Structure 1
Amino acid sequence: MMNQKDILLETGTNELEIVEFIVGENKFGINVMKVKEIIQPLPVTPVPHAHRYVEGIIELRGEVLPVVNVARAIGNDQEFTEKDKLIVTEFNKMKVVFRVHTVTQIHRVSWAQIEKPSEMYQGLETQITGVVKINGEMILLLDFERIVVDINPESAIQKDKLRNTIARDRSGKKIVVAEDSPLLRQLLNETLTEAGFRHIEFFENGKDAFEYLQGFVDGEKSIGDYVDLLITDIEMPQMDGLHLTKRVKETPELEALPIIIFSSLITDDLRHKGQQVGVNAQVSKPEIHTLVEKMDDLLFA
């Protein structure tokens, strides 16, 4: 059994720790920050008419949690092995258990080592967020959020909740967004545009976003004359959102820029990581209406 709190990793170093696991012949990884614990399989109670990825439910310390079969989710025919493990996760304010064939080890890597998956990949391309080479082997970072959305589309960003936000003139505000998921970039563009924002610059990782912001450092004007707010995900290749926030807040010419972390990793156990690097607000995906409310708080204070 592994408990997330036993793993120490300084905040803002642009590093992450990956739990390596195997399904079929492939090696996959999941960010330790998503993992609550790893346990031996427990009796699973089937649920009638459940999604085909869902085996059923288990009870763990008084909580009833869904069990998702990762082999089914990635189209692998091999169902169960004697070495099966259950990975108990928490993200997007949900707890979900994933059954995998075996868990092997934990690796500490830099986000700079993680490559964006190529569009040429076949089969798993929509379920892979990154690829990292460790000890001569490729480890695929599986998109657990995408699997959950496939099971329950209601867990995705819901634009209709924006109707409850206060009507404001947001058209003059200049926003920078760092988000590696093309799907999330599209959804954020649609929802923020619907909320009235007209000037939004998107970047697919923190490194590109930081280089863009640095372009305003040498001018006579302040950063607020060019950018009003930065929104960033945490998990991104090249530079993660925590390191991006730290770099911005440590740059005198940029430190006044308000930053919101918009991530599936905003939980009670992990919120302190954003606070340590000086972020102004943190919002859990998929609460887009809360994101707009926090943006208003910072933009119209």
Structure 2
Amino acid sequence: MAGVLDSVNQRTQLVGQNRLELLLFNLGDNQTYGINVFKVKEVLQCPPLNEIPKRNPVVRGVAHIRGGTIPIMDLRRATGSAPLTNLETCFVIITEYNRSTQGFLVKGVERIVNMNWGDIHPPPKGAGRENYLTAVTQVDNRLVEIIDVEKILAEVSPMLDEVSAEVIQDAQAETTVLKHVLVADDSAIARKQIQRVLASLGIKTTVCKDGAEALGYLTDLVAEGKDPYHELMMVISDIEMPEMDGYTFTAEVRANPKLANMHIILHTSLSGVFNEAMVKKVGANDFLAKFHPDELAKRVNARIKVLTGDGFEMED
């Protein structure tokens, strides 16, 4: 296992090419799971865990790692199965999501595979609203399930998703009632969080589950003789999405003369390892790490003020 992530920092060239690398792992059964390497900081043998009072059952304890205290969550238990046993033989995947660091307890870690987002697909329809998958793919004829980590984090440690009163008071949504916001995100939890923020500002949303679906929505507007720039206030897009990631989506929008003026915010949980240069390269207007309701609302308010003539676009 030593050295399996030694070259993670050299993999940033994959972004913008609709590619990613998955770290494959298992939870002690025959199913293989994957997590984006960009979210992984370290993989290590499970260290000694200290229990904490009144903890969520998914949190097996906290570990002291490199001078910090990190909660360790049992991914097997989080997805509805029996908790992992014999922790001394398990591994912990240290990740950074939504500006916080946490560890996920797994039974075994296998290898890293280079993938194209086009080969990663949404979960099958009918999987049920309580499923924990955000995408599926195949590696060596094996089904690989990608867990919706944002759903697990929202259940273990719910985040405040309400916009503060002063930010709502600053909104001018009534002046843009004919426009709405296009939201692209593969996580159902993330889509609902964004929708609640926008609804508190009086703004309607159209949601898509990935970049390909969002791009199709925009091109359909053009085919109907509509101008997406006048139909939509902005697009809020995740980066990690099956079929087409947010980088590629943004680049495709900018390459289309009839879509090129769209205002795009990349809104992602890739906070600690995010390649800011790629945002400028693909032409996004802004970047925001998930998930802080007031910050998102303030960006939307700033866009409203630009559209109503009361503000100015921020320079890239």
The 5 Å alignment of 1:255-294 reads 255-267=260-272, 269-294=274-299
What percent of counterpart residues are identical? 27
Give the root-mean-square deviation of aligned CA atoms.
2.4
Unaligned runs of 5+ in 1: none
User: Unpaired runs of 5+ in structure 2?
Assistant: 307-316
Maintained 8 Å contact 2:167/2:298: no
Match of 1:21 among 25, 28, 35: 25
Code of the residue aligned with 1:17 in structure 2: it is: E
Give the aligned partner of residue 244 of structure 1. Answer: 249
Deviation at 1:298, TM superposition (A): 2.8
Name the aligned partner's letter for residue 196 of structure 1: G
Cα distance, 1:222 vs structure 2? 5.2
The residue number in structure 2 matching 1:73 is: 78
Which of 44, 49, 52 is residue 49 of structure 2 equivalent to?
44
The match for 1:161 is 164
Q: How many residues align?
A: 297
CA–CA distance in 1 between the matches of 2:127 and 2:90?
Answer: 27
Q: Which residue, out of 10, 14, 23, partners 1:10?
A: 14
TM-score, normalization: structure 1? 0.89
1:248 Cα deviation after fit? 0.9
User: 1:1-301 to 2 correspondence within 5 Å?
Assistant: 1=2, 2-3=5-6, 4-25=8-29, 26-74=31-79, 75-80=81-86, 83-121=89-127, 126-153=131-158, 155=159, 158-161=161-164, 163-165=166-168, 166-168=170-172, 169=174, 170-198=176-204, 200-217=205-222, 223-267=228-272, 269-301=274-306
Rounded to whole Å, the distance in 2 between the matches of 1:62 and 1:218 is 56
Structure 1 residues 36, 94: CA separation in 2 closer, same or farther (over 3 Å shift)? same
Structure 1 contact 23–71 (Cα < 8 Å) conserved: yes
Q: Relative to structure 1, is the Cα distance of residues 262 and 247 closer, same or farther in structure 2, using a 3 angstrom cutoff?
A: same
After TM superposition, give the deviation of residue 84 of structure 1 in Å.
2.0
Contact 2:123 2:136 in 1 (8 A): yes
Structure 2 distance, partners of 1:50, 1:220, is: 55
User: For the residues of structure 1 that align with 2:203 and 2:38, how far apart are their CA atoms?
Assistant: 32
